Amino acid sequence: MTETSPAANLPLLPLMAADRPSRQRALVLTLVSALVFCALLPYTKVPLPALAAFIPIYESSLLLNDLITAVMLFGHFSILRSKSLLVLAGGYLFTALLTVPHMLTFPGVFSPSGWLGGHSQATAWLYVFWHGGFPACVVAYALLGHRERQRPYAAPSSQWAALWAIAAALLAAAAFTVLATAGHDWLPPILVSGHYTLAGRIVLAGTWAASVVALAVLWRYSNRSLLDLWLGVVMAAWLCDIGLSAVLNAGRYDVGWYAGRIYGLLAASCVLIVLLLESNKLFARLVVSHEHALQRGADLQRLNLQNEQRATQYAQALDELHFKEEEIRAVVHNIADCVLTTDAAGVMISANPALERVFGYTATDVAGRHISLLIPELAADSESAFIRDGEVDGLHRDGRRLPLELAMNDFEVHGVRQSVVVLADIGERKQFVAELRRARINAEQANQAKSTFLANMSHELRTPLNAILGFAQILAAETMPVTPEKRREFIHHILKAGKHLLVLINEVLDLAKVESGTLSLSVEAVELDEVMTACQQMMAPLADHRELRLRFVLEPGIYVQADHTRLKQVLLNLLSNAVKYNRKGGQVNVSCVALSPERIRIAIQDGGEGLAPAQLAQLFQPFNRLGREASSEEGTGIGLVMTRRLVEMMGGTIGVSSTVGVGSVFWIELKAAAAVRVAPGFSQIVPVDPLAAAGSGQRTLLYVEDNPANLLLVRELIGLRGDCRLLTASEATAGLRLAREQRPDVILMDINLPGMSGNEAVRLLGADPATRDIPVIALSANAMAHDVARSRQAGFTGYLTKPLDLDQFTAALNAALRCSEQRASRSL
């Protein structure tokens, strides 16, 4: 073990100096052992009963103690690499190994003569080898330890040295066992009939003397370590063991023999107990040291974390500083306003890139030049040289004048006063202000037009009301005799005024729906021939009254994408204007032209006074009658506004061309649609429902639809079934009346109906006890998910979108008929 060995400072038992408490405890234990030894001397030869179980218990304990001690000493050797420690560990292993043959050869334990060897002298000689071998190992331990302390040596390999020591202990134990058993003839008898012979006394005395020599050598050459101290206690107990059990007693199973064995057990346990106690102390110290190390590690980690956090914060601060610098630089370079820096005399130092966009100069062009280059009124000798903020006129490089807003602030850099100048181009703002001013004027004009409209509406409403109330008062007065002819005349005027009032109210309500976005359309294929024919029939009386000719030129079979009712409303409005503002005896021409396969144009030409360009510019403005407010023609000035909005909602366009003194042409363009026809063979595609056909009589269906083409299609489909009769209504109110009167089995209803929507109608049907159980199926061109959800929430049992799928229509109708039949059977 060298002086520089890393293990030299470890708190291990062979290295720990014996402290005062340890020496006191060792001395007390030795004195007690000696006192007990002396007290037992008079009784050593007193015989005691032979206990067969004593030897197995005693020697098993010895074996276990010596093996554990040997293992712990080998462990210390693996750390310290001391040869003396290796010899001591081998001695303990040797004693542990010899206890096994000693126990196996002891007579009366496993067999009367001993299980191993079968000779009466084997056990005694094994005892001699055992108790003589261990003192020899102690002597070698003391002498080698002294030599190691005097002359350091290279430490051997702990693994191989330990293996050699174990092998030596095994060989020695095996050799002595063979000698004591197989070679007993070579040895003199030392025990006869349980008593020691003279030779035995001499041999045992020599063993006792060897233990004394070992104790003396250990005392002389030890380094006074804790291990040496307790090893000395062991040798003292070893002397007591040999003295009581082999030298001073009479033989086996007397007081001395049992007492000596107990001393031997104490001697074997002494070093082990100290090793365990000191190991426990070392472990406790290790735990405390580990806790301290963990605490210090945690403190170091916390300090390291704090340092890292501070470093991170510092790095973040630097990054933020750099970011702020870049941000400020980016803001200054990308700001829309021109930013300049000047010295105290107004000489420009730097400028951002906006300078080139505003003035046409680069920063290099203006560096070192006076700011009056950009703003002439800030010249040093001018009266405006000290302007700090406000509106100024700038001068572009090309000579243009620029309206600018100036903001100037002073600052100091290293004691030198400078100024930052911000110049904002307010040309767009001034233009925006001018536009706002014009918009305000337009709004005021629109408000004035609305006020005018309200005044006109008040006039228009009061005029028919005046007629209604006036003639009604005359009819109600008992003091004014009225002839039957006059009564009929007054009633005619009342009805006429009431109809005119209804038209005014309906137009205002329709316009309100369009403006609020609540007016919904059912855009589908509409046949123009049918709509034109209906319009011609409706306008013919008015045209005849004004002595006008109506001329319709169009080909049959033309279909457009439109809402049937609203298209008719648009055409009637345009035709009404063409009739009202035409010359007496004039003509109204209506034509239909296909501009392309996708677009259809309908043109209405009158022979009226025509419109001037100024009137054409105001034609589609709401509440504007183009100077006709004082004319005898009835109107509100919102008909054309409604017409344009409805055409646009149907995906079309409207326009007008007019010549003063010649007349005007109003036209609308709509998307073309495929013709709606009933294909042959429907009787094979649409089978009759077996459940419906099996019932008694025909089932009744009610279809509420304002589009004649759709009515025709459904009528053909129902007619091919043969088990149903179809009732039709073109308005929701008429449909409600028919539903209450006829109690149909199923109702088919469009959503977008004139006057009242299908959703409102189905709610009224559900609220009426007479019709609440009738299934209602929606047939609508509204295919959006929210439209379907709203209709189902209103109370429809089914929802089919146009164009109809024949299989879906048949399935939905059959399901509704079955539902109606089941409800009828339950009511019975």
At 13 the pLDDT is: 57
At 1 the pLDDT is: 42
**Per-residue pLDDT tens for 698-717?**
789 999 988 877 888 888 88
Measure the CA–CA gap between 785 and 773, rounded to whole angstroms: 26
On whether the CB atoms of residues 242 and 234 are closer than 8 A, the answer is: no
Picking from 16-30, 288-302, 616-630, 660-674, which range would have the lowest pLDDT averaged per residue? 616-630
Give the residue from 205, 130, 119 showing the smallest Cα distance to 175: 130
Measure the CA–CA gap between 112 and 107, rounded to whole angstroms: 5
**Per-residue pLDDT tens for 588-632?**
899 998 888 889 999 998 888 878 777 777 676 655 555 555 455
**Selected residue with higher pLDDT from 696 and 142:** 142
Where do runs of H (alpha helix) occur along 151-254? 158-181, 198-221, 226-242
Cβ burial, residue 402 (10 Å; 0-12/13-18/19+): middle
- Per the document, the length of the chain is 828
Check whether 412 has a pLDDT greater than 50: yes
At 746 the pLDDT is: 92
Measure the CA–CA gap between 236 and 208, rounded to whole angstroms: 11
**Per-residue pLDDT tens for 304-324?**
888 888 888 888 877 777 777
Q: How confident is the model at residue 694 (pLDDT cuts 50, 70, 90)?
A: very low
Q: In terms of DSSP bridges, do strands 699-704 and 724-729 run parallel, antiparallel, or are they unpaired?
A: parallel
At 709 the pLDDT is: 72
**Per-residue pLDDT tens for 241-258?**
777 777 777 777 777 778
Q: Which CATH superfamily is domain 338-425 in?
A: PAS domain (3.30.450.20)
At 776 the pLDDT is: 92
Q: In terms of DSSP bridges, do strands 549-553 and 587-596 run parallel, antiparallel, or are they unpaired?
A: parallel
pTM of the predicted model as reported, rounded to 2 decimal places: 0.39
Q: How confident is the model at residue 62 (pLDDT cuts 50, 70, 90)?
A: confident
* Domains in the chain: boundaries: 15-275, 338-425, 452-511, 521-673, 682-827
Give the residue from 690, 700, 697, 686 showing the smallest Cα distance to 820: 700
Check whether 747 has a pLDDT greater than 90: yes
At 156 the pLDDT is: 63
At 178 the pLDDT is: 82
Q: How confident is the model at residue 371 (pLDDT cuts 50, 70, 90)?
A: confident
The arrangement of secondary structure in 15-275, i.e. its CATH architecture, is: Up-down Bundle (1.20)
The arrangement of secondary structure in 682-827, i.e. its CATH architecture, is: 3-Layer(aba) Sandwich (3.40)
At 383 the pLDDT is: 58
Q: How would DSSP label each residue in 363-419? A: HHHHTTSBGGGT-GGG-TTSTTTT--EEEEEEE-TTS-EEEEEEEEEEEEETTEEEE
Check whether 26 has a pLDDT greater than 50: yes
Cβ burial, residue 348 (10 Å; 0-12/13-18/19+): buried
Q: Is the dihedral of CA 37, 40, 42, 47 positive or negative?
A: negative
Measure the CA–CA gap between 377 and 476, rounded to whole angstroms: 85
Q: How confident is the model at residue 678 (pLDDT cuts 50, 70, 90)?
A: very low
CATH of 452-511, one of 1.10.287.130, 1.10.260.40, 3.30.530.20, 1.10.10.10: 1.10.287.130
Q: What is the mean pLDDT of the chain?
A: 77
Check whether 118 has a pLDDT greater than 60: no
Same fold, 15-275 and 452-511: no
Check whether 763 has a pLDDT greater than 50: yes
Measure the CA–CA gap between 80 and 7, rounded to whole angstroms: 6
Percent of the chain having pLDDT more than 90? 3
At 136 the pLDDT is: 86
Check whether 140 has a pLDDT greater than 90: no
Measure the CA–CA gap between 299 and 747, rounded to whole angstroms: 86
**Selected residue with higher pLDDT from 780 and 828:** 780
**Mean pLDDT of the region 576-589:** 85
**φ/ψ bin of 596: left (φ > 0), alpha (ψ from -120 to 50), beta (otherwise):** beta
At 668 the pLDDT is: 92
Q: How confident is the model at residue 12 (pLDDT cuts 50, 70, 90)?
A: low
Exposure string (b/e) for 733-762, b if CB count within 10 Å is 16 or more? eebbebbeeeebbbbbbbbbbbeebbbebb
Measure the CA–CA gap between 449 and 441, rounded to whole angstroms: 12
At 351 the pLDDT is: 85
Percent of the chain having pLDDT more than 70? 80
Give the residue from 200, 219, 221 showing the smallest Cα distance to 211: 219
Measure the CA–CA gap between 158 and 230, rounded to whole angstroms: 25
Q: How confident is the model at residue 827 (pLDDT cuts 50, 70, 90)?
A: low
Give the residue from 26, 431, 524, 459 showing the smallest Cα distance to 226: 26
At 602 the pLDDT is: 92
410 strand-pairing partners: 419
Q: How would DSSP label each residue in 420-465? A: EEEEEE-HHHHHHHHHHHHHHHHHHHHHHHHHHHHHHHHHHHHHHH
At 603 the pLDDT is: 92
**Mean pLDDT of the region 384-405:** 78
Q: How many CB atoms lie within 10 A of CB 783?
A: 10
Does domain 521-673 correspond to CATH entry 2.30.33.40?
A: no
Check whether 422 has a pLDDT greater than 60: yes
Query: Maximum CA pair distance of the chain?
Result: 181
Q: How confident is the model at residue 691 (pLDDT cuts 50, 70, 90)?
A: very low
Measure the CA–CA gap between 589 and 591, rounded to whole angstroms: 7
For the chain, give percent helix, strand, coil, nearest 5.
60, 15, 25
Contacts of 562 (CB under 8 A, 6+ apart): 523, 524, 526, 650, 652, 670
Reading the block at residue 107, the tokens are 């007579």
At 669 the pLDDT is: 92
